[in-house]
């Protein structure tokens, strides 16, 4: 069967080398052994791996049921073949510190490769993982744990992050799983965790779990949580596997999508002790785990964006080939030739929306990744990390919401055929819905964006972003072909600032004694997140258009870039204005409605 996956290597390379110009800082620390040619080779090989080895089991991972038998899950051989291809090529070492035996690359290049892997087959990508968890243990652990992290990478073991509990859900601080200090450097973990991705499988010989638990006597809430490393199989001093540890999968979820990815209930210490080790010999669990969570949030945004991109490209291919109906100018002529459906205005409108959002979400992800590059290049300047931190809820929250929404239109292009399993769109939609929920729902991302990323620093971070966008709006000079778009970008910024101003007023009123005013903030945080994401995307797409415009007669790709920028602004500007108006006129009456009225 031909691969379902359609990559957009051209646009990835445009972002990396024409817009963000990562080649300007390759070949020196911290990436002295990497140049542009090698970076392009890496992209090309991951592209091939994604289209061939990862995509090969995309149908199997959806339609071959997984079963938990005596605490074990055996994956289909096709999935494990994709995992082997990735690891045999040494790609599990990509973006891992050299001190661990890895292959360091800029985050932007790493996330570009992740897009292709995740969109081709998220399940295989996740079973191939482990290096992220090992890297966190290496950087946070004591000396023996650093050795374990190196061994983890060498042995190509898998990993999982374990924090959610059945009764706590997103309220991580309500976790009750406890850790008992045995006084010999080990801890016994007792409790039940839920929704654990990759908690049990046989894609590798061992799984190392990073587990949040509350030591006996620790304070309530997130501050009382500590992080423990808990292997599925204990590891002997010589690196060989020891006995089975007391952490066992006791259920796997039956899901709407991503069916080949085991989502487990994990029980600790039921029939035998679950032995764990305190990460770094210090009780700093929530900060340590958030290093994994933040990477996972970036991953989910990248996954959803990549899935939308392949959904668009599948729809585009179909629309060029499928002939149906006459051209609208000849609709009354029954003898008129049938035309490709891309010639029909409504189909073309949907395709342009798909193209624009695919490219816009990629621009948002790759700009955020570029900021992460700058943080590595300039470790003494925290503005890069703070800007990346500001945008992370947008990457995760907006990308996942918009990808799910737009994939419905990608399916619509296929008509009735899209609703069948003859094409991958129906599976894309099922596999993508979870992205709005994973690693904190969109509502949680929006609360984080307003309260932690904006209000906590009195708006300094977002003000710096606004100042940079303002400078861009003023650029261009006389005869600027993008002058109108720049002006509209300035209006979008004004509307976002008006929206934010209204919410700050409600927040200040709540702090001044009118506590119910905080409800007005909560009613509009999701809308603020969407508007902020659309502003940043519009800015980035105009940067793309600025680079592309001189070359529009050279290659249709560049003409498409200019068109995407203008189309996106046409879509987003009225939405941002409407959200501002709604926030400014909010009266909070929804919160006064009796529950019985729902």
pLDDT, tens digit (0-9, with 9 covering 90-100), for 58-88: 999 999 999 999 999 999 999 999 999 999 9
In a domain, 190, yes or no: yes
Instruction: For residues 480-487, give the mean pLDDT.
Output: 96
Q: How confident is the model at residue 1 (pLDDT cuts 50, 70, 90)?
A: low
As a whole number of angstroms, the distance between CA 45 and CA 40 comes to 9
Based on the fold, state whether residues 363 and 404 are members of the same structural domain.
yes
- Identify the pLDDT of residue 513: 92
Of the candidates 426, 396, 432, which has an alpha carbon nearest to the alpha carbon of residue 413? 426
Based on the fold, state whether residues 178 and 291 are members of the same structural domain.
no
- Identify the pLDDT of residue 168: 76
Of the candidates 85, 83, 190, 170, which has an alpha carbon nearest to the alpha carbon of residue 129? 83
DSSP 337: P
What is the radius of gyration, based on Cα positions, of the chain?
A: 25
- Identify the pLDDT of residue 169: 75
| Entry pTM | 0.96
Rounded to the nearest 5°, which phi and psi values hold at 271?
Answer: -105, -20
Tens of pLDDT, residues 211-234: 999 999 999 999 999 999 999 999
Cβ–Cβ < 8 Å for 224, 214: yes
Based on the fold, state whether residues 423 and 296 are members of the same structural domain.
yes
Based on the fold, state whether residues 95 and 187 are members of the same structural domain.
no
C-alpha separations of 444 from 293, 364, 450, 452 in Å: 13, 20, 10, 11
Of the candidates 188, 388, 380, 401, which has an alpha carbon nearest to the alpha carbon of residue 275? 188
Domain that holds residue 416: 285-438
DSSP 204: S
- Could you say which of 438, 459, 490 is where a domain stops? 438
Based on the fold, state whether residues 453 and 509 are members of the same structural domain.
yes
Based on the fold, state whether residues 448 and 590 are members of the same structural domain.
yes
Catalytic annotation, pick one of 140, 165, 439, 534: 439
Tens of pLDDT, residues 231-270: 999 999 999 999 999 999 999 999 999 999 999 999 999 9
Based on the fold, state whether residues 452 and 547 are members of the same structural domain.
yes
Cβ–Cβ < 8 Å for 213, 247: no
In a domain, 35, yes or no: yes
- Identify the pLDDT of residue 2: 80
99 is catalytic: no
As a whole number of angstroms, the distance between CA 18 and CA 43 comes to 15
Instruction: For residues 439-451, give the mean pLDDT.
Output: 96
- Sign of the dihedral through C-alpha 323, 327, 328, 332: negative
- Domains in the chain, number: 4
- Could you say which of 234, 266, 283 is where a domain stops? 283
SS3 state of residue 343 = helix
As a whole number of angstroms, the distance between CA 200 and CA 209 comes to 10
Cβ partners under 8 Å of residue 111, min gap 6: 298, 302, 365, 366, 369
Of the candidates 209, 350, 187, which has an alpha carbon nearest to the alpha carbon of residue 266? 209
In a domain, 203, yes or no: yes
CB atoms under 10 Å from CB of 405, counted, come to: 14
Q: Which residues pair with 125 in a beta bridge?
A: none
Of the candidates 491, 488, 487, 510, which has an alpha carbon nearest to the alpha carbon of residue 499? 491
In a domain, 138, yes or no: no
- In CATH, what number is assigned to the domain containing residue 253? 2.40.110.20
């Amino acid at each position: 069967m031909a691969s379902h996956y359609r990559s957009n290597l051209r646009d990835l390379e445009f972002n990396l080398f024409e817009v963000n110009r990562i080649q300007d800082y390759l070949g020196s620390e911290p990436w002295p052994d990497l140049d542009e040619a090698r970076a392009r080779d890496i992209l090309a090989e991951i592209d091939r791996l994604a289209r061939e080895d990862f995509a090969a089991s995309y149908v199997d991972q959806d339609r071959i049921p997984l079963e938990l038998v005596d605490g074990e899950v055996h994956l289909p051989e096709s999935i494990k073949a994709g995992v082997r291809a990735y690891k045999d090529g040494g790609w599990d070492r990509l973006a891992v510190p050299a001190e661990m035996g890895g292959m360091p690359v800029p985050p932007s290049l790493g996330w570009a490769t992740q897009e292709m892997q995740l969109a081709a087959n998220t399940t295989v990508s996740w079973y191939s993982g482990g290096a992220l968890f090992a890297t966190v243990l290496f950087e946070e652990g004591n000396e023996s744990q650093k050795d374990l992290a190196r061994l983890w990478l060498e042995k190509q073991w898998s990993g999982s992050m374990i924090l959610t509990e059945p009764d706590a859900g997103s309220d991580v601080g309500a976790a009750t799983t406890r850790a008992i200090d045995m006084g010999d450097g080990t801890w016994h973990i007792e409790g039940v965790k839920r929704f654990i991705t990759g908690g049990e499988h046989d894609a590798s010989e061992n799984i190392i779990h990073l587990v949040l638990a509350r030591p006996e006597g620790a304070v309530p809430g997130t501050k009382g949580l500590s992080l423990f490393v808990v292997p599925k199989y204990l590891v002997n001093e010589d690196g060989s596997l020891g006995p089975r540890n007391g952490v066992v999968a006791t259920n796997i979820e039956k899901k709407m999508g991503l069916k080949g990815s085991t989502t487990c209930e994990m029980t600790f210490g039921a029939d035998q002790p679950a032995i764990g080790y305190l990460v770094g010999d210090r009780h700093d669990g929530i900060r340590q785990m958030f290093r994994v969570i933040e990477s996972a949030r970036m991953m989910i945004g990248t996954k959803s964006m990549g899935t939308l991109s392949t959904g668009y490209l599948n729809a585009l291919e179909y629309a060029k080939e499928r002939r149906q109906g006459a051209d609208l100018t000849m609709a009354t002529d029954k003898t008129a030739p049938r035309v490709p459906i891309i010639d029909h205005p409504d189909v073309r409108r949907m395709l342009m929306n798909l193209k624009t959002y695919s490219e816009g979400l990629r621009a948002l992800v790759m700009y955020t990744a570029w900021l992460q590059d700058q943080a590595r290049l300039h470790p003494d300047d925290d503005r890069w990390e703070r800007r990346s931190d500001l945008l992370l809820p947008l990457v995760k929250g907006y990308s996942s919401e918009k990808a799910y929404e737009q994939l419905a239109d990608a399916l619509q292009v296929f008509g009735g055929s899209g609703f069948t399993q003859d094409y991958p769109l129906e599976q894309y939609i099922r596999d993508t819905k979870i992205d709005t929920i994973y690693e904190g729902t969109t509502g949680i991302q929006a609360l984080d964006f307003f309260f932690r990323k904006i209000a906590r620093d009195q708006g300094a971070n977002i003000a710096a972003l606004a100042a940079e966008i303002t400078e861009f709006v003023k650029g261009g000079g006389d005869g600027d072909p993008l002058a109108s778009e720049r002006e509209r970008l300035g209006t979008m910024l004004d509307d976002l600032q008006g929206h934010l101003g209204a919410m700050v007023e409600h927040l200040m009123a709540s702090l001044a004694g009118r506590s119910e005013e905080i409800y007005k903030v909560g009613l509009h945080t999701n809308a603020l997140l969407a508007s902020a994401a659309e502003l940043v995307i519009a800015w980035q797409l105009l940067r793309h258009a600025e680079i592309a415009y001189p070359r529009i007669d050279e290659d249709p790709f560049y003409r498409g870039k200019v068109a995407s920028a203008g189309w996106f602004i046409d879509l987003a500007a009225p939405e941002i204005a409407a959200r501002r108006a709604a926030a400014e006129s909010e009266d909070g009456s929804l919160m006064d409605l009796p529950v019985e009225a729902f």
